[in-house]
Every structure is written in structure tokens, then in C-alpha cells.
Structure 1
Amino acid sequence: MKIVIIGTLDTKGVEVGFIRDEIVSLGHTPVVIDPGLLGRPAIPADIPREEVARAAGEQVAELVAGGNKARSQNAMIDGLVKVVSRLHECGAVDGVVALGGAQGTAMATAAMRALPVGIPKVMVSTVACGKSTFGPYVGTKDITMIHSVADILGLNQVTRRILAQAAAAVVGMAAVEAAAQGEKELVAITQAGITTPGVMAIKERLERLGCEVIAFHCNGIGGQAMEELILDGEIEGLIDFSPHEIADLLFGGLMPAMPNRMKAAGQIGIPQIVTPGCTDILLHGPPGEVPEALCQRACVQHTPTHTHVRTNPEEMAAVARFIAGRLNGGTGPRASVIPLRGFSMLNRQGQILYDEAANMAYVETMRRELSPEVELIEVDAHINDLEFAEETVRAFLRLREAAARKAIYS
């Protein structure tokens, strides 16, 4: 197997050499790429910095002479992404392992994010710790981050073991044979813990019908990853059961959607259902960090670090307008399905987050705003009730049949 190793050889050459030798000892072929710029490389690279710079349309000498750190780093990131992408297109990437500090992590993970899900990606990093935000490095891809514990400055009792484990990890991951491509129709569904019973009931029914169901957590990144797969043509149907991230996007919660959320299915034209699951809460930090303006609302401490704050009628109306706008702008068979007895586990009559006025603000806004081209289905049930799951599946099957008819005559 060919394992790509990324590291700046002026400052991390010894450590990259150690990983290279470990991969050779495991019986595989390392491909060392050097995206460094300044000092002399400590070991030779299979793809030197000059080649990385040329891939970005630049010359190393000109970048160094220019003295513009941001421009230089952006150029080397661009070149690195292109080099790794070309290697993958040629079938020369079975896995990627990299090591670095903040800058090295930014460069290497940019290249990793250019690779498809399923190619092993291991990043040994000084910033892979609890004080750092992982989103900019991992994005929507399957990148494994390993905290280096000690700084990456030479080989010692700590770094030798961690780097050896990283080499063994990427080799072991690459050795796993990919599951055979199935013939089943892929259907995406969004979920959270507080809509899991409903999601599980839908999943069970669709799987009995021969579909393969992929769940995505409504944490902002989950929705983004899902929509990328839709645009790539991997997903053939969508039940957006828990689009909570829309509420966080509109009103400053901790896990907001990307601004283009809920466009992909309509753009591609696959069957699409949207329900208001989890849009009835805003996600904030622990109770002591909830904004003062929200402290008088109904709140539930979901975990030690997260608090669910009940959305009010105005916010629910705004969420409905957003979703209606996205559905109205779509092209395929689509529907808004609404559970009239509550949108999440504790938004049920008698529970702490139940708010009839707020729930109805969503319903009434959807009635006004939704285009006649989009089916509106109201179900006298709670979102986690079996009755609602069954009606959602029935609606999805109707939309799927409509999509099949459209494909025949188009």
C-alpha cells in the first residue's frame, strides 16, 4: 500500500523520517511530501517543496523572497491539495498520515479534506486538544486527530510511541477492505437524541422496504456533510427529520447550519421531506453560560456542557419561513410533514418544553408560506409517536413514486 506522509521537512524532518521508516518496516510504501518553505530539509522528499509550489503556480524562491507569510502559506496549501488530489486520481493514495503544529495541521488537513470519505486520514497535531476548535481542521471528513502530547521537536519516549502508533494506525485503517457497494437505495435522515425514537421507527420501516438509511446528527457539520453527499449524487432521498441547526443559525445557538443548508435536495430534485424536529430548542452552553435574556425561558440541561432553551413563537415562525422558502425553491417532489403534538422529546403536553403557542406559530406560518407545489401534511401525533413515523414513511414513498414517474417522462 502507498501511504502519503505530509510534514514540513525543515522543522519536522526527523519525525517524518521516523514515520517513514515505521511504514517501511510494516511492509508498505511511504510517499513523503514536503510543504515547508524556509530551512533546509532534514531528509529527502519524494515530492519536494518545489513541486508543491509549482502545483500552485508559484516558485519557492519567489515566495521566500516576497516575505508574505499568509500568501506563502496559502500557496503551499493550494499546491499540497492539488498534489494529493492528483495522487489519489492515479490510485497512489491508500492512506495519509501527517504531523505538525498549528500551521502544519492547517496545511495537511486541507489536503486530507480534499480526499473522499473512506481514505484513512491520520493527523498527529499539537493542537488536537480540548482548547482547540476542530471544525476548521476536520470539516465534514473522516480525519482522525491524535494529540501529540509533547511538542513535535525531536524523538523521545513520548513522541516515538505516538508517532509509531500513528504509522500503525494509518496502515491498519488502510488494510481494511471496503464494504462492497450495495444496490440499496440510500436515504438520509437527520436526527438528535431527542428525536431518536421517531428516527429509529422510520429507519426500521425503510430498511424493511429495501432502503439503506444513513443518519446525520443535526450539529451543523452533520447537515453539511449530508448535503455534500446529496450534491455528489450519493443520496437518493431525504427525510430532514431534525433540522435543529436552522434555529441555531437564525438565533445564535452553538451548532448552526451553514447558510446554504437545505438547498441540495431541492437542487438535485430527489424526494425530500422536512419536519420541525428539534427546531423547538436553541442550543447553549452550561446553565451558567446561557445568555441572561434567555434565562427566564423553559430550559433543560441536556448534558454537562449543553442546555436546551425553548424557542418562542416569533422564532418558530422565522424557522418555518426559512424552511418554507427552501422547500418552495426546490425542484423535486417535496413535502412538509408536521407533528401537531410536539416537535421533540420534552415538547409534549405536560413536559417542560411544551409550548402550544410556539408550536402553532410554526404550523400557521407554514400554512401561509408554503407553495401549493409542496405537499403539506399535518399529523395529530407527537414527532416520536409511531403514528407519525408511519405517516412520514407513507409520504416519502409517495414522493419517491412521483420522482420515478418524473424520471420516466423527462
Structure 2
Amino acid sequence: MERAAYIVGTFDTKGRELFYLRNCIDRMGIRTVTVDLSTSGAPSSANVHPREVARFHPGGEQAVFCGDRGAAVSAMAEAFKAFLPSRRDLGGIISAGGSGGTALATPAMRALPVGVPKVMVSTVASGNIKPYIEQTDICMMYSVTDVSGLNRISEQVLGNAAHALAGMIAHPVRPASEAKPAVGLTMFGVTTPCVQAVTRALEERFDCLVFHATGTGGQSMEKLAESGLLDGVIDITTTEIADHLVGGVFSAGEQRMDAIIRSRLPYVGSCGALDMVNFHGIDTMPSQFRGRTLVRHNDNVTLMRTLPEENHRFGEFIAAKLNRMEGPVRFLIPEGGVSLLDVPGQPFHDPAADRALFSAIEKDFRAGPQRRLIKLPYNINDARFSQALVEAWLEIAVNNRAPLRQAR
């Protein structure tokens, strides 16, 4: 089926701009489908009427066209998120709008697999766009002028966006015919030697995708796992859990590791950088943490050493997640320290705090035929620990061929 460009938005208020996008894409030879997300009840000339989209809401049309504008917009966003996966000819999606239109279109964009072209022209694209993009590959373009009528500026910006989407649809990136199985790895600066050693050992046989464990990094890795784009995970750096539980700025949320649980992918994990919680500049530190052991990583990042009671909570969190994994699991504990700063002579060396972490994992962990806990007397960046991670991965990757996808 010929793939189409979907032009979506509120055609009752942004019709001129959205039809301009359609016309630009039509001229590029790409088939188009217009989808109206208006909640006003006004007549629509789009290919897909708002009521057709609204029927995808769990509560039906009446949940969307309820008479309350705020509730109607939220409900339409939910309906559109359910509508979009039903379209078998979706080649890419583009929208244009202000804060409301952006909030209306982007939840459905985020739900699409990574790699599907997504373009959002928005008046809010020059500010904090994390809530709109999260861990996905939405291309955000700032509208410069308001999305309100056509003028010499808006025509240029909208035209560029339309041509960008048309190019992505007309010239998709084709993966290599002999693509290697993909494995996701998590890394921080203080676990870099370990991750680089593992990557060097595996890169001839596996496509190694390294993610920076800054919250969005872990979320991005799990998004790819959920989208079927990973064959397994070597989660060396689980530091985002510390930020989540203590209140740092690099949290990946309560859902960290949940995509691995749902996907049942082969999983090798460890305790990388759980000796620290991350904050921005040292002057931004919350007052309750001012007396703690701090390391100024740079002008914008301050590291705080975690306490034994905090590490105990991390261990409980990790064990609970591991116990829910039904795919093959190997979790390796580096008894010699969890980062470059957690060695004798370095500021985060604290064997008592590490023991609290390791003991909590060991106490709650439920071993089984598919699930093993491995303790090693090395620092996480020791070459012998890296080799153990490689061996653990090869064991479950080779002995569990079924979960691994065929070469793409």
C-alpha cells in the first residue's frame, strides 16, 4: 500500500495552514490524508472527520464532544492516540499549532514507533519541549510567527516542514540487509571504561546502541525495546533509579525497567553509578542536601554521594523489577565499587553504602532457571568485570535464540 503523509490538526482554526501543508506535500508527489481534530462541532472538509477520530475514545464520541472545551481537547488527544495505529497507510505525520494543538497531536506521535517520520510545527518549540517529545524522535520546528494565517514567514517555515516530511517518506532509510542483532547499553561518564570494553568485545557480532543514563537516555532505550527495535539490553548503568528515588534531575521515572518486563528481552544488568544522585549547578542543590558529600562534575552537574539507607531502597527497587522479568536475566554485582569515584582514595568510596545496596538486592532477589545473581569482587570498571558482563550476555543471547529478532 502506498504510504501517505497524514496532516493533522484543528481544521476549524488552523485550516489555511494545514491545507497549505497538504498542498506542499501534494506537489512533492506524496499522497496525503487530512485528519481533523477539532472539537467545536464545526463542519469539516478534511478526509477524516473529527467524529471518526472521536469514536476511538473508550467512552465514544460523547466523551469528546462533551461541551467542556478543556475536557474535549484532552479526550480528543486520547482518541487520536488510539486512532492512529489503526491506519495501515501511515507513512509519516505532520501538524501545526500553538500550545493546545501541540498537546493535541504529540501524544499520538509519541506512541508511534521510533523511525516513523513525525514533524510538529509549533509556537512553543523554542521553549521546554520535553513534555511534548519525551523519549521519541519527533522533529520540532519553531513556527517563528504564530500559526495564524499565511504570510512570507509562515509560508517558508510551513513549506520547509512539509518538504522535510515528504523527503523522509519518499526516501526512507533502509537498514542493512545483514543487520546485526541490536543490544542497548547504558553508560555514564563514571562507567565509561566498562561500557566501552563491553562494546569493543561485542561490536563485531552485535549492533551496540549506547544510551547516556540521564533520564531520557533510559527512557529512550526502553522505548526502543517496546518498539521491537532491540534484541536485548546490557543495563550496566542503573543510576537513574537513584535520581528517581532521592529526587535528582536524571530520573527515568517509576517505570524504569518496565519495558524489559513487558518485552521479555534478554537482560544483563548491574549497579553502575548508584553511588550518586545528580543535580544541576551546585547553587541549585536542595537545602536538605547541602551537608552531604558532593562532587562538582562541571558547572551544570553536581554529584551527591548516596547514603546506606538510600542504597537499600535502590536494591529493593531493582530486585522487585528483576523478579518480574520473565525473559533470561543475569544481574552482576561489582563488590569492588560501582563507579570510577567509588574506589579507595576517591570521594565516593563507601563500602558500607555499597553493602547496603548489594545486600538488599541479594535478600529480595528470587533466583530461577532464567534468573541469576552473580557477585564478583571487582570494581565495575575492572576489565575482569567487563569480561564477565560479556560472558553473561553471550550465554543468554546464544542460549535464548527465540527472543532475538531475525536480522532486519
TM range (shorter): 0.7 to 0.9
Structure 1 residue 222: Cα displacement: 3.3
Structure 1 residue 248: Cα displacement: 1.4
8 Å contact 2:376–2:385 — kept in the other structure? yes
8 Å contact 1:58–1:75 — kept in the other structure? no
Moved more, 9-18 or 361-370: 361-370
Instruction: Read off the aligned partner of 1:341 and give its amino acid letter.
Output: G
Alignment partner of 1:26 is 2:31: no
Match of 2:10 among 8, 21, 27: 8
Match of 1:109 among 106, 114, 126: 106
Match of 1:37 in 2: 39
**Structure 1 residues 193 and 99, CA, compared in 2 at 3 Å: closer, same or farther?**
farther
Under a length normalisation based on structure 2, what TM-score does the superposition of the two structures give? 0.87
Match of 2:330 in 1: 335
Match of 2:392 in 1: 395
Alignment partner of 1:201 is 2:203: no
8 Å contact 1:99–1:123 — kept in the other structure? yes
CA distance in 1, matches of 2:116, 2:402: 37
Counterpart mapping for 1:227-238 below 5 A: 227-231=222-226, 233-238=228-233
Match of 2:84 in 1: 84
Match of 2:67 in 1: 67
Match of 2:240 among 222, 238, 245: 245
Structure 1 residue 115: Cα displacement: 1.9
CA distance in 1, matches of 2:236, 2:60: 47
8 Å contact 1:11–1:39 — kept in the other structure? no
SS in 1 for 2:233: strand
Structure 1 residue 363: Cα displacement: 2.9
SS in 1 for 2:120: strand
Match of 2:278 among 283, 297, 305: 283
CA distance in 1, matches of 2:113, 2:222: 14
Structure 1 residue 387: Cα displacement: 2.5
Instruction: Read off the aligned partner of 1:235 and give its amino acid letter.
Output: L
Deviation digits for residues 367-406 of structure 1, max 9, x if unmatched?
4443354533333433233222112111222334554699
Percentage of identical aligned residues = 36
Under a length normalisation based on structure 1, what TM-score does the superposition of the two structures give? 0.86
CA distance in 1, matches of 2:94, 2:178: 29
SS in 1 for 2:384: helix
SS in 2 for 1:46: coil
8 Å contact 2:186–2:235 — kept in the other structure? yes
Match of 2:115 in 1: 118
**Structure 1 residues 306 and 11, CA, compared in 2 at 3 Å: closer, same or farther?**
farther
**Structure 1 residues 267 and 138, CA, compared in 2 at 3 Å: closer, same or farther?**
closer
8 Å contact 1:186–1:212 — kept in the other structure? yes
CA distance in 2, matches of 1:105, 1:199: 37
SS in 2 for 1:78: helix
Structure 1 residue 147: Cα displacement: 1.8
8 Å contact 2:265–2:403 — kept in the other structure? no
**Structure 1 residues 177 and 347, CA, compared in 2 at 3 Å: closer, same or farther?**
same
Structure 1 residue 110: Cα displacement: 1.9
**Structure 1 residues 397 and 28, CA, compared in 2 at 3 Å: closer, same or farther?**
closer
Alignment partner of 1:53 is 2:54: yes
| Corresponding residue pairs, total | 398
SS in 1 for 2:115: coil
SS in 2 for 1:248: helix
**Structure 1 residues 138 and 181, CA, compared in 2 at 3 Å: closer, same or farther?**
farther
**Which segments of structure 1 move beyond 6 Å, counting only runs of 4 or more?**
none
CA distance in 2, matches of 1:365, 1:269: 24
CA distance in 1, matches of 2:322, 2:60: 44
Match of 1:274 among 259, 269, 272: 269
**Structure 1 residues 51 and 287, CA, compared in 2 at 3 Å: closer, same or farther?**
same
8 Å contact 2:39–2:69 — kept in the other structure? no
8 Å contact 1:98–1:123 — kept in the other structure? yes
Structure 1 residue 59: Cα displacement: 4.8
Structure 1 residue 45: Cα displacement: 1.4
Q: Over the residues paired in the alignment, what is the CA RMSD in angstroms?
A: 2.9
**Structure 1 residues 139 and 380, CA, compared in 2 at 3 Å: closer, same or farther?**
same
**Structure 1 residues 129 and 302, CA, compared in 2 at 3 Å: closer, same or farther?**
farther
Match of 1:213 in 2: 208
CA distance in 2, matches of 1:78, 1:370: 38
Question: Which 5+ residue runs of structure 2 have no aligned equivalent?
Answer: none
Alignment partner of 1:260 is 2:255: yes
Deviation digits for residues 88-108 of structure 1, max 9, x if unmatched?
x2xx22211111111111111
Question: Which 5+ residue runs of structure 1 have no aligned equivalent?
Answer: none
SS in 2 for 1:10: helix
CA distance in 2, matches of 1:406, 1:141: 24
CA distance in 2, matches of 1:215, 1:112: 24
Instruction: Read off the aligned partner of 1:255 and give its amino acid letter.
Output: F
**Structure 1 residues 270 and 58, CA, compared in 2 at 3 Å: closer, same or farther?**
closer
Alignment partner of 1:168 is 2:169: no
CA distance in 1, matches of 2:305, 2:129: 26
SS in 2 for 1:118: coil
SS in 2 for 1:188: strand
Instruction: Read off the aligned partner of 1:302 and give its amino acid letter.
Output: H
CA distance in 2, matches of 1:159, 1:405: 51
